[in-house]
Amino acid sequence: MKPEDDETHRLQRWVHRSLLAGLVLSGLLLALGLAAATRVSRPEDGQTPQPMRALVESAARGEGEALMTLGLLALMATPVIRVGVLAAGWSVEGELRFAAVAAAVLILLGASLFLGMG
């Protein structure tokens, strides 16, 4: 096997691990949130978004809606993490053109997040 093949397989493994970790984390948070929400009979309003700190504190107290919201956020962050892993992997492998494209995608994602929150 060529050294490039080993590096490619290593990058593929890291991408696979990052996607799997995001999926597992999201699934666990959603399942815990659903279980917590079903044991409490009071409905949440869910109309105003909470700041991240308050969301994490609510999830730590076991509030179902907060856990499910964190699960959805983890699921949405998974592709972004994948692009970051690819950018880092391509940089290490010396594939600077691909790394630059991945970095540009990350910058565009960050800009859209920043502009969308305002």
Average pLDDT, integer, range 17-46: 83
Q: Are 88 and 17 in contact (CB under 8 A)?
A: no
Q: What is the pTM of this model?
A: 0.75
Average pLDDT, integer, range 82-95: 93
Per-residue model confidence as pLDDT tens digits over 40-80: 756 556 566 778 899 899 899 988 888 999 999 999 999 99
Average pLDDT, integer, range 77-91: 94
Tokens (6 digits) for 10: 């290593």
Helices 3-39, 64-93: axis angle to 10 degrees equals 170
Q: State what percent of residues in the chain have pLDDT above 70.
A: 88
Q: Where are the domains of the chain?
A: 3-117
**Using CA of residue 7, residue 12, residue 13, residue 15, what is the dihedral sign?**
positive
Q: What is the DSSP string of 29-59?
A: HHHHHHHHHHH--SPP---SPPPHHHHHHHH
